[in-house]
Every structure is written in structure tokens, then in C-alpha cells.
Structure 1
Amino acid sequence: MELYKGRPECISNRLDKEIRVYDLLDKLEIGYERTDHEPTDTMELCNEIDKVLEVVICKNLFLCNRQKTNFYLLMMPGDKKFKTKELSKQINSARLSFADEEDMLKYLDITPGSVSIMGLMNDKENAVQLLVDEDVLKDEYIGCHPCINTSSLKLKTADVFEKYLPAVGHEARIVHLLGED
């Protein structure tokens, strides 16, 4: 795997939703580094990507309440365990579960394995609430997918929260997750 600055030179073999991410980041003048890779379906591959990017890629979970009336995108450090009960208490939403693939496509235009904060650019109705574990904010950089799991990006945390989120009309709700047994 190689590390590149900015968008791919050849975009003919890229999905439209990935190109839209690069277009928006470029428009917002947000610098980023990128690596291309096989689909990330194992932690070993994620660890290799982390080494290339020199950042821990965030764990991004797409969640909903039992009634499917509230949807959440949770960003947390990749090495932290997710405890449903711990988050449910903080956001006053009992019975959180993973949202369906259909809802991922409907609200974020992403598929399982590609969940990313970049998908919020596709949520024009603000149906998805962004939840961010406070530990994510401690790092200078964030690692994420550009709405597809065959590339990964390294972005400045400040750029994501000060430029990207306001541009896509979303605010982060900060949560405190211990992730302990």
C-alpha cells in the first residue's frame, strides 16, 4: 500500500459516491492523504492501513432505536469496545441496535464495511445524529473511508469538525465511552 496526497489521478474506475467525497474535500480546501487497498473486512488489514496512514482508523457504527425513528452514526477509537448500554444511557435511547443495510443506503449512501463520517454529506434531511466519543477529538488526525471500503483517508481532526461538518449541516454530540467489560 502506498500513501498519496489528494484524489486519485484516474477516476474512471471509482464509484460516484467516492468521487463526490474528493470533490467536496477539495472544494472545502481540506487537505488529505489517501491509500487504496483491498476491501477492509479483517482487523489485520485495518491494522496495516493504520500503519500506512500513521493514524488509527475510527470505528464507525450506524445505529438506530427499536422503532427506527432515530438514527445515529457513532465515531469511536477503533481499538475501543462498544457497549450499547453505556451509550443508550447518555443519549436517552433505549434498545439501540445496528441499523439495516437499507437504511445505510437511504440516509448515507453507504454499504456495510464502508460506514464513515463522509456519508453525512449524503444526509440532506439531517436524519442521522452524529455521536463522537471524546477520545476521537484527542488525536490530531482522523482516519476514515471515502464512502467506500477500498480506500482510506487521513484528515486533520480540526478540518473535519470546523470545516466539513458545518458544510454538510451536521453537528457532533460528544459522548464519553469507557468501552470496558
Structure 2
Amino acid sequence: MPLDESQPLMTMLEEFGIASATVEHPSLRTIDDSRRLRGDLPGAHAKSLFLKDRRGGYWLLVALEQTRIDLRVAASVLQAPRFSFASMDELSRLLGVVPGAVSPFAAVNDVHGRVCVVIEQRVLASELINCHPLRNDRTTTIATLDLVRFLEQIGHPPRIIDLSGLTESA
């Protein structure tokens, strides 16, 4: 059964020795909502795109929220066939979250290893990163390197890619 509440996730982080801080806020569905309603949190803010390639492969691409990503370029860099956004059913079935709550933490629910987690390298330049903890009415701040360690611990070591110069920043 997938984790669908943030408390089991917080317990897991604690068991891994990973410090985090979580704040509650109104539900956020878009980056604009997030900027308006999240308050003043330290660190960078991530956005996560749940993608499907035309051969049925799944990808969770994590970038800084201001990064505009050209899906054709990202697919080319990852040597994947053409990307599209995965459906809400696939999002629920594979990552156990709803639209607006997608984050790298959701990889914990991919128990069959079908999703490849990808982090754009500019995320790693931030000491702290903010992500939704499986729901979009909370934001969790975690050290960026601890996020990578968490992903490794759950069997989803991320691929790190460089999209700088190939994407636009907002």
C-alpha cells in the first residue's frame, strides 16, 4: 500500500537520520499558487514533472521551480523516446499521489522500480530544497544532498543531468 500521508514519510526520513522541517499551508496546485501562499521558506523550491516516454518508460524529472523545461530536449539528453505527461491514473498507480503533490518523495511509492528519477544539476547547487511530502498542503525543507541520499536509500538513485543552456529560466 503506498504512503499517502506525510507522517510515515517523516518517520522514514527520521529512521534514515535525515533532518527535515515541514510547514502546513493551503493546498497548492501550481507554482504560482506556491509562490503566493507558501510563505517565506529557506532554500530553493523544486518542481517535479511525471513523464512517460513513447515506449512506456516513466520518468520523474526534478528541477528548480523557475526552470522551463523543453520536453524534447530533456528526452534527447536522457536518450529517451519522446516525452509526454503521464496520466492521472498512472500518477496515482505508480507514485501514489495526486496532481499538485508530485515530488521526488513520491518515488518511495514506486516499489517496482518503474520510475527513473532525474535531478537537474542546478538543484544540487542549493543547500536546501523544498518539496511536497506526498501531499500539496505541506512543504518539507530538506538538505539537497539528504534528498539524494533518501532516493538512494529507497532504491531510486537519481540520474543527474545538465539542462543549463538547453532550457530557459523564467
- TM-score higher than 0.5: yes
Work out whether residues 118 and 160 of structure 2, in 8 Å CA contact, stay in contact via their aligned partners in 1.
yes
Compute the RMSD of aligned alpha carbons: 1.8
Question: Given that residues 47 and 65 in structure 2 are in contact (C-alpha distance below 8 angstroms), is that contact kept between their aligned partners in structure 1?
Answer: yes
Task: Give matches, 1:108-127, under 5 Å.
Answer: 108-127=95-114
Is the 1:62–1:98 Cα contact (8 Å) retained in structure 2?
Answer: yes
Q: Which one has the largest radius of gyration?
A: 1
The unaligned stretches of length 5 or more in structure 1 are: 1-14
By how many angstroms is 1:49 displaced?
A: 5.5
Task: For structure 2, list consecutive stretches of 5 or more residues without a partner in the other structure.
Answer: none
Between 169-178 and 135-144, report the one with greater CA deviation. Answer: 169-178
Aligned 1:26-41 pairs, distance under 5 A: 26-41=14-29
Task: Give the conservation status (yes or no) of the 8 Å contact 1:50–1:57.
Answer: no
Report which of the two has the higher share of strand: 2
Instruction: Report how many residues are paired.
Output: 165
- Give, in angstroms, the shift of residue 16 of structure 1: 4.6
Distance 1:43 1:117, change over 3 A: closer
Identical aligned pairs, as a percentage?
26
Of 77, 81, 88, the match for 1:90 = 77
Residue 53 (structure 2) pairs with residue 65 (structure 1): yes
Q: Deviations over 1:115-165 (max 9, x none)?
A: 011111111111100111010011101110010000001000111112x11
Aligned CA distance change for structure 1 residues 86 and 106 (closer, same or farther; 3 Å): same
Alignment match, 2:13? 25
CA contact (8 A) 1:63 1:97 kept: yes
Q: Which has the higher contact order (CA 8 A, sep 6+)?
A: 2
- Between stretches 171-180 and 127-136, larger displacement belongs to 171-180
Amino acid at match of 2:72: K
Paired residue secondary structure (2:106)? helix
1:46, 1:135 → 2: CA distance? 20
